[in-house]
Amino acid sequence: MGRRYAAVLRVAPGVEIVGYADPDPRALDAARRISPAPGFADHRALLAEARPDAVCVCTPDDLHREPAVDALDAGAALLVEKPLATTPEDADAIQRAAERAGTPAMVGHLLRFDARYAAARQAVAAGGVGRVLHVRAFRSAAAADRRRRGARISALWHLAVHDVDLARWITGCEVTAAAASGVTDLDGALVVAAAHLVLEGGALATLDASWALPDAFAGRVWTGFTVMGTTGCLDVPSTHASVAAHAAGGVTYTDPTRFFEPPGLSPQGALRDEISAFLDAVRGRTALPVPLVEGVRAVRVVAALERALASRAWVPVAT
């Protein structure tokens, strides 16, 4: 994900990439091929030597706290990839650091910048479906992507958190209770999760997430999101095969609504819009579109789902 951030920032007006931090030299080399800049094996060295005005944290899901807190303590503005953290304790620590620093801090819930979901939110807020009764979502990714990331990556934290955030954002209702069931792989990683949520006002949400698609599946991701109400229904279908690029190595399918880098053109899609919104907030032009508290609330819901999965019981979610 860090390389995609670099591709967007490389052409962002008024932005200079002053450094990358990664303990893997190969990852540093890959980033520098996108946009040349000094590389550091440790984020603390980057903060001390490069002294950035803003930092994007794109580490694995469970490794956000330390670089995020250190960046804020150094006075840098912060954009941290979703999920904000993988424990409520880590999420709260990042939020406290942001409050101490007083600098802009945002969580990258990418799909809020996808025009399809934004339109769904506007329609629900305008009463287009009446009173919300049910949210149904599924999000599946290729099994090879999970193997590449390793057993530490959970279907709840990496995939379901998208739809947890969307369910809250689109309906305007917080989650009050959670239940879950799941399937683990041979290495113990959660590869299929079925989440059941109760929203304020009594609506229900059912969210399915999995790392179970065949590796050859077009676009390597398949999603769906539906809101049903007393007077109507909204559906955001998958666009996993919107653009097909045919080359000697085969066919590559891309969803241009999220990240799309056509030959000879700058990156397009929701990630570009997310980063642009963050930069506008850092420059004082607009308010932060996704403040850290939104990430904290999503973390609390997913943490409740983890507890529900372990206990096989409904778990309350503090609002």
| pLDDT tens digits, 216-258 | 776 678 899 999 999 999 999 876 555 666 667 666 666 667 6
Report the CATH superfamily, name and number, of domain 113-263+297-316. Dihydrodipicolinate Reductase; domain 2 (3.30.360.10)
- DSSP string over the chain: -HHHHHHHHHTSTT-----EE-S-HHHHHHHHHHS---EESSHHHHHHHH--SEEEE-S-GGG-HHHHHHHHHTT-EEEEESSS-SSHHHHHHHHHHHHHH-S-EEEE-GGGGSHHHHHHHHHHHTTTTSSEEEEEEEEEEEHHHHHHH-TT--HIIIIIHHHHHHHHHHH---EEEEEEEEEE-TTS-EEEEEEEEEETTS-EEEEEEEEEE-TTSGGGEEEEEEEEESS-EEEEE--TTSEEEEETTEEEEE-TTT-B--TTS--BSHHHHHHHHHHHHHTTSS--SSBHHHHHHHHHHHHHHHHHHHHTS-EE---
Least confident of 49-58, 67-76, 212-221, 236-245: 236-245
- Give the pLDDT confidence score for residue 22 in this predicted structure: 97
- Asked if pLDDT for residue 59 goes beyond 70, the answer is yes
- Give the pLDDT confidence score for residue 263 in this predicted structure: 58
Give the whole-number percent of the chain exceeding pLDDT 90. 77
Report the CATH superfamily, name and number, of domain 2-110+284-296. NAD(P)-binding Rossmann-like Domain (3.40.50.720)
User: 178-201 pLDDT, tens per residue?
Assistant: 999 999 887 778 889 999 999 999
More confident residue, 51 or 263: 51
- Asked if pLDDT for residue 319 goes beyond 60, the answer is yes
pTM of the model: 0.92
User: 75-118 pLDDT, tens per residue?
Assistant: 999 999 999 999 999 999 999 999 999 999 999 999 999 999 99
User: Can you give the residue ranges of every domain in the chain?
Assistant: 2-110+284-296, 113-263+297-316
Q: What is the mean pLDDT of residues 111-139?
A: 96
